[in-house]
Chain A
């Protein structure tokens, strides 16, 4: 394995290999092991999950933040149940957007600060795959609880069962896009001390399409402008595209930031 340029001078023909009885290099060549990347992927997911669930991990803070945002809205808008029910999908979506961004700024920064990002870079997984797994673990630990609890919180906004179900479905389809787009911002600001706010400023404009299609689909049941299917499919497409493309962008940003 050679790195750099120009081509190296030919190694001097000395006989130092004769000092060791074993053929040089052979003993270090690892035996082929098909399961190794899968083991590394599982170990990374398990580690991220454990850190997120333990005290200070931040996964449950997102849910509490979501609850508080939703609970504050009736105080700001007044006790008009019809108005609350009409605005419910939009409120739930904005709360989910902010709660998702809240936890994302430490996604890579924690690893960068304590040096464990080095393990990811030189590990047996490509950095792009490691980024994808970290995002998947983050989504499972922080965004999935929001999706599951959103019908419960929607009750506080006097929403009917139909819109509640549709909002939960659109959140399930749309939050992967929020996490993946946020991961790009988190990777770009990884080496900045107070990068969280900058990350939000960078990422929020990029999440506007997700918000538009998410709220459009969720509002369909409560007399929205558009039918459900078209914006919901666009939302799914956004999530799939973000999942496919964001790992490359985030990994490139991480490699560059570490110089």
Chain B
């Protein structure tokens, strides 16, 4: 399996944010998308998830399930957590697991939350959780449903140091298990052998 993008061009509101971008991420690799604000990191991840139309070029997940789109084989974690305030952390995860094709049992929810150090809030309404705790509930989605491609947009926002370490271990386990990880970040995220995909250089070269 390999994520491959060729000549990818994305426009947002008439402005070309990504022009002619090509990259490859083989099985078991991590790709950190870096670049200044407005360089198109979020647009790239949303386009890969299928939420944004692309102007030219394309992308594909080679050797994967042909009946599903790339987005349907990917976890996309954006700036919004997708955590419902009215539901408990466990109910949020149960819904995400059922919707994304995972294990919606309580044991799976508890295991996912415990891996992020949040097992004690499984029955708490999400509106009572702090920003970092909500973020961790969102990250626990990645564990209750197994999907090969993770598209993470600044995943460690609002996380404390311990949670960042725990999530770095989860990301390493995903990559070592043969998954592909594409993350937009300003730091290294604790992944040592990650490749870097730098955006924004094209624009500066043109200017």
A residues engaging B (CB < 8 A)? Answer: 1-6, 8-9, 11, 16-17, 19-20, 22, 24-25, 27-30, 33, 36, 39-40, 42-44, 46-47, 50-51, 54-57, 113-116, 118-125, 258-259
Q: How large is the interface on B (under 10, 10 to 19, 20 to 34, 35 or more residues)?
A: 35 or more
* Segment at the interface with A among B99-107, B185-193, B199-207: B99-107
**Are the C-beta atoms of A40 and B98 separated by less than 8 Å?**
yes
Tell me how far the C-beta of B46 lies from the nearest C-beta in chain A, rounded to whole angstroms. 9
Q: Which of B6, B28, B82, B98 contacts A9 (CB 8 A)?
A: B6
**Are the C-beta atoms of B87 and A122 separated by less than 8 Å?**
no
**Are the C-beta atoms of A122 and B71 separated by less than 8 Å?**
yes
**Are the C-beta atoms of A119 and B178 separated by less than 8 Å?**
no
**Are the C-beta atoms of A1 and B61 separated by less than 8 Å?**
yes
Tell me how far the C-beta of A107 lies from the nearest C-beta in chain B, rounded to whole angstroms. 14
User: For B74, what are the chain A residues with a Cβ–Cβ distance below 8 Å?
Assistant: 122
**Are the C-beta atoms of B99 and A57 separated by less than 8 Å?**
no
**Are the C-beta atoms of A123 and B4 separated by less than 8 Å?**
no
Can you show 12 pairs from A to B with CB atoms below 8 A apart? A3-B60, A11-B2, A16-B27, A17-B27, A22-B178, A39-B104, A43-B94, A43-B95, A119-B82, A121-B51, A121-B71, A122-B74
Q: Which of A4, A27, A51 contacts B84 (CB 8 A)?
A: A51
The complex places the Cα of A54 from the Cα of B88 at a distance, in Å, of 12
Task: Contacts A43-B99, A121-B50 given; indicate if A57 touches B63 (C-beta within 8 A).
Answer: no
Tell me how far the C-beta of A35 lies from the nearest C-beta in chain B, rounded to whole angstroms. 10
